[in-house]
Structure 1
Amino acid sequence: MYCNRRNPDLAYLHIKPRTSTPGPFMQKRNCKSSSQISIRVILEYTLMFLKSVFSFVCRIWNLILVLAKKNVRKVIAHQTIKYKMIPLSPLTRQRLNQVKKKVLVLDLDETLIHSRHDGVINRMAKPNTTPDFVLKVVIDKHPVRFFVHKRPHVDYFLEVVSQWYELVIYTASMEIYGSAVCDKLDKNKGILKRRYYRQHCKVEMGSFTKDLSTVHTDLSSILIIDNSPGAYKCFPENAIPIKSWFANPFDTALLNLLPMLDSLRFCNDVRSILHRNKVQHMTFQ
């Protein structure tokens, strides 16, 4: 008591709580906890980084696929394809000179090309398909855009058959549209000069039919390629059917016709070969 009264600081020291430094076990535990937190943070950041990289790679890959799909049809359509043109022998050339030059009538829509206009969804064509050319025409004082897709190999087909036949376009479409399409296909070569449009067709039971006799009076020397049997129902012996085309980039229908067309130019009467189509299309008569 005497010491506490005399030196109160000593009494204070006796009641002051004693602090102790953490032992080796506590230090190891704290270090272990901090290291686990650091590893967890590193793993989280690494995972986020990998997710970002994966997402970026996926976007780049999708972009490449979209560009590839857009260009695949053009690549296929413009690939180098040749129909082997064998030089004519003197006898064959003499035979060709003895027969009349034939007239080949060609349809447009779904035969040589396929098109759609503003406001119409083309369910047959694949989405994001780039048209070969766009036409701007005025119909009933309203501007209309047509997005036109060319059938694969149509340019090469026209180039070859124009050497064998006199080409004629006969379409049930309006002249203002059909004429613009023909100009694009002709490319100033002068191979599609003769053209017939909707006003030259006959309307029978709500459908347009094409009168080949107005194109050429000699029916033995004229043939038509059309995807619609109703269009040539009056002339089945002069017709070569072709499958309708909308969007298939691997279509080769035009190329498949070249051997037949190469042979038909040598005959006296095309109906002697094509008369078999009459039985197949009797239902349209």
Structure 2
Amino acid sequence: MINLVAKSARCARLVTHKPIVARRTLFASQYRFYSEKKDEKKPDSILDEDLLAKAGIDSEPKIESKEEPKRHEPQEDEFGQPRKRRNNVKSSLDKKKDRLAKVFWFSVLGTALAGGIYNSRDWDPEEEKELYNPEENGLNPVNVWTRFKKRMWGVTNVFSEPAFTDLLPPPPPAPYRHPLTLVLELDDLLIHADWDHKKGWKTAKRPGVDYFLGYLSQYYEIVIFSRSSMAFAETAVAKLDPYHAFISYSLFREACRTKDGKVIKDLSLMNRDLGKLIIIDPDESCYSMQPENAIPIDKWDGKKDDKLVRLIPFLEYLATQPIKDVRPVLASFKDKKKIPEEFAEREAKLRQQWEKEQKQINGSTLTSSLLGISQMRPRKMPLDLIREHGQKNYLHMYNYLKENGEKLLQEEQQKTKELLADQKLTLEKIFTEGMPTAEDIAKQQAIQAAQEGQAPAKR
């Protein structure tokens, strides 16, 4: 009994002498987790096991629970989205979506299989005369694959082949035909488009391009063949030739081939003699099928230069000479990119030879004059006479368009409106038959002119 009293007194003394330990234990008990408080059946005493052990009081050992504490999983994932329920219970809307998705993919698979079977059928000798080959019919896997590949290749060719086999109409008769055809690229040759973050897109016209087109239009049938789409390039072509006086035809990306990711201009589809055709393009891949017809040139970056104008003397000489095929002439130059420089050297030698011949002619003329015989001799070199004649024609055309260009343009627009009104075009007719071509317009104008000529006779 005495020992028990002594132990109680000692315990009370320890509690009174160490209030800080009890206060810490109290604060620690206040910051416990909610989950721990929920599992506890009795609140903890201020006197913990250490204090009771020091006081000599034995406490019952706690039996550690084998059950692991429950972990509270976060209700959101790492992206801040609510986590899905672990159970397999789905709402009626989710079940409907899954059912529709299965129907969709099964329909796609069925359509693909049906299309494959249809494209693998035997050749039809009446509907597929170009592809018909009786040896490729049958259920042999090789023949089935051959038929499928050829039919699918015909579908994909719509996107990689030109829209028409003849890109230009037939040339006019010989008296009204230009001696040569000049094919020009639009981008980075005649114009250059650049983008600025302050002003946006800016399009620059190459120095001398108006003179280049106007001067050579009297010798060449000029065709603009752009690798850009018609929706983007047609406006630029219209601004280069607003009066439709220099550019004969315009072709765009829709008339190009596409092979291995490259845009190719097939000159054999232009309905012109390749011996009378020249192409100037800064992209070598565009004329890769007919490189012998090309005059290569560097891309224009928008800065001032005269490379385009310096080609005029050579092109003028080529068009004014009786040349049957331009390809051997182009092949005679060592470097096609330096044709203006090499042609200037050739012209200088030709001029020296001509002057030498003139001296000999002058000597014979002097002798003939002493004998009383008069001879006519040219005062200028024939090439100089050709250039003077070309300059006069260009100035005459320039002045005429300057004075009457707007009037001619208005008359052309008015005739087009009248023609469209006479034909009574409807939206259905445009979609079914398309817009009238240049030949249709010419025929309609001829019919109208004949009717106007016959009208006074009937009266």
Q: TM-score, normalised by structure 2?
A: 0.33
- Contact 2:193-2:204 within 8 A present in 1 as well: yes
Q: Name the SS of the counterpart of 2:182 in structure 1.
A: strand
- Higher relative contact order (Cα pairs below 8 Å, separated by 6+ residues): 1
Structure 2 CA distance, aligned partners of 1:211 and 1:102?
17
Q: Name the SS of the counterpart of 1:253 in structure 2.
A: coil
- Contact 1:237-1:276 within 8 A present in 2 as well: no
Task: Decide whether aligned partners of structure 1 residues 234 and 194 sit closer, same or farther in structure 2, where only a CA change above 3 A counts.
Answer: same
What number of residue pairs does the alignment pair up?
Answer: 161
Matched, 1:159 2:214: yes
Q: 1:258 aligns with which of 305, 312, 319?
A: 312
Q: 1:198 aligns with which of 253, 267, 275?
A: 253
- Gap regions ≥5 residues in structure 2: 1-174, 338-459
Task: Decide whether aligned partners of structure 1 residues 146 and 216 sit closer, same or farther in structure 2, where only a CA change above 3 A counts.
Answer: farther
- Contact 1:236-1:277 within 8 A present in 2 as well: no
- Contact 1:107-1:226 within 8 A present in 2 as well: yes
Task: Decide whether aligned partners of structure 1 residues 110 and 102 sit closer, same or farther in structure 2, where only a CA change above 3 A counts.
Answer: same
- Contact 2:178-2:219 within 8 A present in 1 as well: no
Deviation at 1:193, TM superposition (A): 3.6
Q: Could you tell me which residue of structure 1 aligns to residue 302 of structure 2?
A: 247
For the aligned residue pairs, the C-alpha RMSD in angstroms reads 2.8
Task: Decide whether aligned partners of structure 1 residues 213 and 146 sit closer, same or farther in structure 2, where only a CA change above 3 A counts.
Answer: farther
Deviation at 1:236, TM superposition (A): 1.0
Task: Decide whether aligned partners of structure 1 residues 256 and 280 sit closer, same or farther in structure 2, where only a CA change above 3 A counts.
Answer: closer
2:246 counterpart letter in structure 1 = I
Q: 2:267 aligns with which of 207, 212, 216?
A: 212
Structure 2 CA distance, aligned partners of 1:279 and 1:154?
24
Q: Name the SS of the counterpart of 2:210 in structure 1.
A: helix
Structure label with greater radius of gyration: 2
Runs of 4+ with deviation above 2 angstroms: 116-119, 275-281
Structure 2 CA distance, aligned partners of 1:277 and 1:198?
31
Task: Decide whether aligned partners of structure 1 residues 161 and 241 sit closer, same or farther in structure 2, where only a CA change above 3 A counts.
Answer: same
Cα shift readout 1:31-87 (whole Å, capped 9, x = no counterpart): xxxxxxxxxxxxxxxxxxxxxxxxxxxxxxxxxxxxxxxxxxxxxxxxxxxxxxxxx
Q: 1:272 aligns with which of 328, 348, 355?
A: 328
- Contact 2:275-2:327 within 8 A present in 1 as well: yes
1:102 counterpart letter in structure 2 = L
Deviation at 1:101, TM superposition (A): 1.0
Deviation at 1:163, TM superposition (A): 1.1
Cα shift readout 1:224-244 (whole Å, capped 9, x = no counterpart): 011111110111111111111
- Contact 2:282-2:298 within 8 A present in 1 as well: yes
Q: Could you tell me which residue of structure 1 aligns to residue 140 of structure 2?
A: none
- Contact 2:296-2:336 within 8 A present in 1 as well: no
Cα shift readout 1:120-176 (whole Å, capped 9, x = no counterpart): x9xxxxxx9xxxxxxxxxxxxxxxx74210111111111111111010000110101
Deviation at 1:275, TM superposition (A): 2.8
Q: Could you tell me which residue of structure 2 aligns to residue 177 of structure 1?
A: 232
Structure 2 CA distance, aligned partners of 1:213 and 1:258?
25
Q: Could you tell me which residue of structure 2 aligns to residue 57 of structure 1?
A: none
Deviation at 1:260, TM superposition (A): 1.1
Work out the percentage of aligned pairs sharing the same amino acid: 37
Deviation at 1:280, TM superposition (A): 8.0
- Contact 1:100-1:268 within 8 A present in 2 as well: no
Structure 2 CA distance, aligned partners of 1:174 and 1:236?
23
Deviation at 1:247, TM superposition (A): 2.1
- Contact 1:173-1:197 within 8 A present in 2 as well: yes
- Gap regions ≥5 residues in structure 1: 1-96, 122-127, 129-144
Structure 1 CA distance, aligned partners of 2:329 and 2:210?
26
Matched, 1:223 2:301: no
- Contact 2:182-2:223 within 8 A present in 1 as well: yes
- Contact 1:169-1:196 within 8 A present in 2 as well: yes
Deviation at 1:279, TM superposition (A): 9.5
Structure 2 CA distance, aligned partners of 1:278 and 1:108?
26
Q: Name the SS of the counterpart of 2:258 in structure 1.
A: strand
Deviation at 1:276, TM superposition (A): 5.2
Deviation at 1:117, TM superposition (A): 5.0
Deviation at 1:178, TM superposition (A): 1.1
1:272 counterpart letter in structure 2 = P
Which one has the bigger helix percentage? 2
Q: Could you tell me which residue of structure 2 aligns to residue 113 of structure 1?
A: 191
Which one has the bigger strand percentage? 1
Q: Could you tell me which residue of structure 2 aligns to residue 41 of structure 1?
A: none
